[in-house]
Amino acid sequence: MTGAEEKRENFAADVENTSPAASQTCQRAHPVRAARDKETIMAKYLMLKHYRMPEQYMDYTPMDQWSPDEVDAHVAYMNAFADRLKDSGEFVDSQALSPEGTFVRSGGPGKPPVTDGPFPETKDLIAGWMVIDVENYDRALELAGELSAAPGKGGEPINEWLELRPFLDHAPSVDE
């Protein structure tokens, strides 16, 4: 088994082994979501795409080393994926982000904002995101897995990690 195959197998095992626990944790932490899922009311999820992941999770050539045609094929795959979700009513929005950015915080009363960044020690920057509105967690997982297989160098699926996060359906309180 090659290193890439082993990483893909480990990823699949991680997803398979953590999904039920993550789902149970979500149901305990968010009883409204658990009840809502049983009623098959649509749930929104955010899929985050990162520029770089920790090396142990990257078994593909980074995009900055792809040819222009390979980048075009990758973007075309993502656009076709979004179009399919628009047709099914599961697409909400998506955006690609520039690697440049600024961190901002208040400088205090009467002072200008403090800016910095992105911080040089930051290894992982968000490349873009997609918001989906789907029937349940399993459908969100299915779509994230499909999007993860976008083509990369040589047209091969990159099987990149995507971060999948549910939107809260209500503001958290100290009672929960």
Please report the pLDDT score of residue 109 as a whole number: 94
Spans of the chain below 70 pLDDT: 1-41, 52-53, 117-124, 176
Topology given in CATH for the domain delimited by 3-166: Alpha-Beta Plaits (3.30.70)
- Cα separation, 130 vs 165, in Å, equals 11
Q: Which pLDDT score is estimated for 131?
A: 97
For residues 125 and 52, the answer to whether their CB atoms sit within 8 Å is yes
pLDDT (0 to 100) of residue 146 = 97
The predicted pLDDT at position 6 comes to 60
Tell me what pLDDT residue 175 has: 75
For the question of whether the overall pTM of this predicted structure is more than 0.95, the answer is no
pLDDT of residue 2: 53
pLDDT at 89: 97
Residues 43-85 have pLDDT tens digits of 999 999 987 667 777 788 888 899 999 999 999 999 999 999 9
Q: Looking at residue 142, what is its pLDDT?
A: 97
Q: Is 38 exposed, middle or buried (0-12, 13-18, 19+ CB in 10 A)?
A: exposed
